Amino acid sequence: MEDRKEAWRRVLADLARSCYLTGAEGKGKPAGDDALVLAKSLGPLAEEAVQIVEAYAIGVRTLGNGEADELPPGFEARLAIILNGLVPTTEEEPEEIEDDPPVFQSELWQLLTKVRESAELSYAREIALVELDRRILLLLGTAGPLVPAELSNGAGVDKAQVSRSVKRLLEIKMVERRQIRSPVNLTRNGKALADRLLRLAELRNRELTVDIPDAELADFRRVVEKLLERAVSLYDQERALANEEPNAPSRFPVVPQDEPGKPIVLDRDRIISPLMTLSAYFSRSAALIFKRRTGLSNFETWVLNEIGRDQPIEWNTLVERLDRDHSQAGRTVNSLIERALVDRQGRPGRRHGRFSLTEEGERMYEIIQDASRQRSAYLMAPLSGDERSRFLATFEKVHRNAAVQLERERAFEEMAHR
What residues does each domain of the chain span? 4-84, 113-211, 295-371
Give the alpha-carbon dihedral of 38, 43, 45, 51, to 10 degrees: 20
What distance, in Å, lies between the first and last C-alpha atoms of the chain?
69
Question: Measured between alpha carbons, how far is residue 173 from residues 163, 187, 189, 190, 198 in Å?
Answer: 15, 7, 8, 7, 19
CB contact set of 396 (below 8 Å; sequence gap of 6+): none
Q: What is the CATH number of domain 113-211?
A: 1.10.10.10
Helical axes 46-63 vs 75-84, angle rounded to 10°: 160
Domain 295-371 has what CATH class?
A: mainly alpha
pLDDT of 109: 78
Q: Do domains 113-211 and 295-371 have the same CATH topology?
A: yes
Write down the pLDDT at residue 49.
Answer: 76
| Nearest by Cα to 277 from 228, 235, 236, 239 | 228
Render each residue's pLDDT in the chain as its tens digit; 418 residues. 445 556 778 888 888 888 877 776 555 566 667 777 777 777 666 777 777 778 777 777 777 666 667 788 777 877 776 776 665 544 444 444 444 444 567 778 788 888 888 888 887 776 778 878 888 888 898 888 998 888 887 776 778 888 899 999 999 999 999 887 789 999 999 999 888 888 888 888 888 888 889 899 989 988 988 888 888 888 887 777 776 444 433 333 333 334 434 443 344 557 787 888 888 888 888 888 888 888 888 788 888 988 888 878 888 888 777 766 677 788 888 889 989 999 888 765 555 678 899 999 999 888 888 888 777 778 888 888 888 889 989 999 999 999 888 888 888 877 777 6
Whether omega for the bond prior to residue 30 falls within 30 degrees of 0, making it cis, is: no
Backbone phi, psi, residue 184, to 5°: -90, 130
Determine which helix (DSSP H) or strand (DSSP E) holds 241, and give its type and residue range: helix 214-241
Q: Where are the alpha helices (DSSP H) in 4-99?
A: 4-22, 32-42, 46-63, 75-84
Kindly report the pTM of this predicted structure. Answer: 0.58
C-alpha span between 154 and 159 (Å, rounded): 11
- Cα dihedral 151, 153, 156, 162 sign: positive
